[in-house]
Amino acid sequence: MDSTFIIEKSVVIVSVFAITMIFAMYSTWAERKVAAFLQDRVGPNRAGWGGLLQPLADGLKLFSKEEFFPNTPNKFLFIIGPGIAMSTALMTSAVIPWGDKLHLFGKDILLQATDIDVALLYIFGVISVGVYGIMIGGWASNNKFSLMGAVRAASQMVSYEVAMGLSMIALLMMTGTLSLKEISAQQSGMNWNVFYQPVSFLIFLICAFAETNRTPFDLAECESELIGGYHTEYSSMKMGFYLFAEYANMFISSAILSILFFGGYNYPGMEWMVENAGVNTANVIGMLALFTKICGFIFFYMWVRWTIPRFRYDQLMHLGWRILIPLAIINIMVTGVCILAFK
């Protein structure tokens, strides 16, 4: 391990971290703007041009709020809950390839924190651990509504993980690898997986909505029944961490969706650009293409949030266990038959 390697990786890691944070921050702004526009309003427009400083103002407000503790015997767990939620939300970005590579200072720099062999499994692992933040926080709040929210979130996430994993298997049968880098590279030149696996994409999309606790599956925090769900008792920046983690999760799941199904950093005419404009230019455009796709998915999340009403809990479980899982299994079988037939 030489020092240049460490410096290179540190720069990549810090920038990935910063980008995730900035995206999560501005997602809150975008959410309010999109919500306003879909409802014929204009949204925040006082703090800075077009309300662009609104996230900073929100953060400042959350920091300066009073820290409020409920009467709980588990102060430590109460504090560590949002911490777990936040760190699991940020951990996933380690394996995501943000671009192909850059050729700087006479060496190739991978635009990825680490390219491990089991990247997709790693993502599933982190997602499955993410539920602890919600469960521990909800339980330690010593509040029935929080506990109900936590229990709902946990059972929802555990149920949808199954369908998510099964929908992935069909895709993996085609790609033959778990490394996100290789999956991205395979989809060069509009060879996107969404055209080959539309059913798998649909299931994954629905499950991603459920895993990030977004509307129409935000039963864990539905205001009309549970006040605020698992973060009812939280205030100040601990509350902010939960909200922030939700937006970071949204960003990460958008990134995974674009990498798995929409070609990642690939864009039409990338090879031509590599030949004619150089590796660096082509790959910077590739990064921009990936971020455009991510922004598109984030917008889609918000668009759906302000269109579709919340599900009922039994409908949610029905959809997860009795529709998506059989559909995913059928999809696996059909994929297997197709692979055998066209090989």
**What are φ and ψ of residue 229, in 5° steps?**
70, -140
Name the one residue in this structure whose structure tokens are 């970005």. 93
User: Could you tell me if 143 and 232 are in contact, meaning their C-beta atoms sit under 8 angstroms apart?
Assistant: yes
SS3 40: coil
Distance in Å, CB of 280 to other proteins, minimum? 31
Task: Report which secondary-structure segment, H or E, holds 160.
Answer: helix 144-175
User: Could you tell me if 61 and 243 are in contact, meaning their C-beta atoms sit under 8 angstroms apart?
Assistant: no
- Rounded CA separation 23/258 (Å): 15
- Rounded CA separation 169/185 (Å): 19
User: Could you tell me if 230 and 150 are in contact, meaning their C-beta atoms sit under 8 angstroms apart?
Assistant: yes
Distance in Å, CB of 100 to other proteins, minimum? 22
**What are φ and ψ of residue 178, in 5° steps?**
-105, -5
Distance in Å, CB of 138 to other proteins, minimum? 8
Distance in Å, CB of 54 to other proteins, minimum? 16
Name the one residue in this structure whose structure tokens are 């997709």. 120
| Shorter beta-carbon distance to other proteins: residue 15 or 307 | 307
Interface with other proteins by CB under 8 A: which residues? 34, 37-42, 45, 74, 77, 116-118, 121-122, 124-125, 127-129, 131-132, 135-136, 139, 147, 150-151, 154-155, 158, 161, 178, 303-304, 306-308
| Shorter beta-carbon distance to other proteins: residue 257 or 270 | 257
Structure-derived torsion over alpha carbons of residues 215, 147, 226, 37, reported in degrees to the nearest 10: -30
| Shorter beta-carbon distance to other proteins: residue 143 or 283 | 143
How far, in Å, are 123, 186, 332, 341 from residue 337 at the CA level?
28, 21, 9, 6
User: Could you tell me if 200 and 194 are in contact, meaning their C-beta atoms sit under 8 angstroms apart?
Assistant: no
Distance in Å, CB of 225 to other proteins, minimum? 18
Beta strands in 31-115 (DSSP E): 101-104, 107-110
| Shorter beta-carbon distance to other proteins: residue 21 or 38 | 38
Distance in Å, CB of 149 to other proteins, minimum? 12
Which residues pair with residue 107 across a beta bridge?
104
Distance in Å, CB of 127 to other proteins, minimum? 8
Name the one residue in this structure whose structure tokens are 């929210």. 149
Distance in Å, CB of 126 to other proteins, minimum? 8
| Shorter beta-carbon distance to other proteins: residue 42 or 190 | 42
